[in-house]
Structure 1
């Protein structure tokens, strides 16, 4: 949407909007590079940083782990039942389980985990980071000779990535188990066929796309809200709102999902 600033012509408003978006994307890329360097630097894991990192890892993962796993289990049961009944009615029962795994495990659960972590953890953390910056916490750390990005931002980013990957991995395992139980019940009769079908679905290329997609999802939901909270827009009249950060995050998630679909099916 083109912002409406009083006294500016349409080309000027278009230019201002395009410039703000370009600056926002550049800041996200720059922050990602900075975080990558800090993650690989042993000096980033001092005593104070380790304590903050452990606290954020626990707070961003443990409280939501059970709830999201139960949600993923319910979705798995409902989707498995719908697909199996529909496939039986059309005489395509042998494709039902493969369809469940492709739709649920490969596509739905990683995206749902990323959105869940974003809404529950990283977006509130970005807002908290903005409040700390406005309250003078960053200036106080700089006056003490500390890096506010290393102290306040890095633990939140790592915790967001860890929470997203953990929720996606655990929920995929639960979904695979429940999909088997939904089709074969509590017996081992279909285990050999299930493992063979699983190996056919998760070929090396599909597995690589799945791992990369989950990783990029986690990086997107961890970095973009932090960038929105860390930086000012540079213009008092048009601050970089949380809505803009949400729009950029959803755009990145959509691009990642589109790229993964092309990699898997084209």
Structure 2
């Protein structure tokens, strides 16, 4: 019984549905643990594994980095101007820079990077390559599945981290230029404000949240693809495998991060 069949199931089948859902989440967590162990295992990185991983990092991060950075800079510039003008009009200019850093760098940039990678790469988790390999039980197919799985997971996780970090640096530079212009005399006040935002606990939380975003984007689509091979695809669904679950996990991570910081 598929998880999305709950709405069409009888009350007597809800127990089976709950069991299937719990097993599905467990398989996802187990796959994530296996992928992490393989990613940090030196024996994984043979020449073929290194080439496959480098290719996925190039496709997932380096190839789209200029375009994503330019797009995020353009959107961030608009938001920065709106925040600054609104703060000045209400006499709250002293809080404008801190608000920009908290909203854009801490919250919107990591989430937008995760969603971008998910839409571009994560939800299209090389279905055509992984499903036949998962169905084939030969030793060669198992080796190729391990190579492609580690490459996809590493590439997507690295892409989220790279896009988020580079875009955050660009937004911080744009924020300074919009508040202080090209003058170097605002550096002291700027560094104090940014340092006040990025206190140790917030910095650790920001890093953990970004890493969790990367792992979610990397693992959840892969687990959905492999689960489809075992239980079949829902013919009534037009969404990419794992899309709803991935969005749910991203929102839970973001909500948890906000709850820890502000409550």
How high is the TM-score relative to the length of structure 2? 0.91
Shift of 1:2: 4.2
Shift in Å at residue 244 of structure 1?
6.0
Indicate conservation of the 8 Å contact 1:38/1:44, yes or no.
yes
The residue aligned with 2:246 is 249
Distance 1:78 1:133, change over 3 A: closer
Unaligned runs of 5+ in 2: none
Which whole-Å CA distance do the structure 2 matches of 1:262 and 1:155 have between them? 33
Counterparts of 1:1-266 in structure 2, within 5 Å, are 2-3=5-6, 9-12=10-13, 14-124=14-124, 126=125, 128-129=126-127, 131-134=128-131, 136-138=132-134, 142-144=138-140, 146-232=142-228, 234-236=230-232, 238=234, 242=239, 245-266=242-263
Measured in 1, the distance between the counterparts of 2:162 and 2:66 equals 12
Give the TM-score normalised by structure 1. Answer: 0.90
Q: Cα distance, 1:202 vs. partner?
A: 0.3
Deviation at 1:3, TM superposition (A): 4.1
- Shift in CA distance, 105/20, structure 1 to aligned 2, threshold 3 Å: same
1:199 deviation in Å? 0.7
CA contact (8 A) 1:232 1:240 kept: no
> How far, CA to CA, are the matches of 2:15 and 2:241 in structure 1?
17
Counterpart CA distance in 1 for 2:103 and 2:123 is 27
Deviation at 1:132, TM superposition (A): 2.4
Counterpart of 1:190 in 2: which secondary structure? Answer: helix
- 8 Å contact kept, 2:221–2:241: no
Separation in structure 2 between the aligned mates of residue 65 and residue 237 of structure 1, nearest angstrom: 33
Unaligned runs of 5+ in 1: none
The number of residues matched between the two structures is 259
Task: Give me the whole-angstrom Cα distance separating, in 2, the residues matched to 1:45 and 1:34.
Answer: 15
Query: Does the C-alpha gap of structure 1 residues 159 and 265 become closer, same or farther in structure 2, counting only changes over 3 Å?
Result: same
CA distance 1:146–1:240, shift in 2 (3 Å):
farther
CA distance in 1, matches of 2:141, 2:64: 35
Moved more, 166-175 or 31-40: 31-40
Deviation of 1:133 (Å):
4.0
Change over 3 Å in CA distance of 1:35–1:221 after alignment to 2: same
- Give me the whole-angstrom Cα distance separating, in 1, the residues matched to 2:10 and 2:34: 37
Residues 1:59 and 1:99: Cα distance change in structure 2 (over 3 Å): same
Give 1:144 shift.
2.9
Check whether the contact 2:133–2:141 (CA below 8 A) recurs between aligned residues: no
